[in-house]
Amino acid sequence: MENKNHLYKSDSLHLAAFLIAKGCELAEVERLSDDSRKLLFCFPDTNKLQNLLSEFFALRAKVRPQDFANAQRTLKTIIFAQK
């Protein structure tokens, strides 16, 4: 069951890049607190996302290297724009 109002949040750049490379939508990026340098990557909590998380944490995830590298570059651009 998908909960489109609920967001899955992670501070992991690598997990966020994997999810984006696999076609998940980045809903928003939020700062943990005003004085924090740490960001949270927020994704709509869908069945697809839950399946991808299971694959990722079970070390069974597969992604095209170029897609992963492009997603990392995009996220790093977002991170540096947040400073």
**Every domain of the chain and the residues it spans:** 3-81
Tens digit of each residue's pLDDT (9 = 90 or more) over 46-75 = 999 999 999 999 999 999 999 999 999 999
Tens digit of each residue's pLDDT (9 = 90 or more) over 7-51 = 999 999 999 999 999 999 999 999 887 767 789 999 999 999 999
Taking the complete model, does pTM exceed 0.85, yes or no?
yes
Helix, strand, coil tally for the chain in percent (to 5)? 45, 25, 35
H-only helix segments in the chain: 13-21, 47-57, 65-81
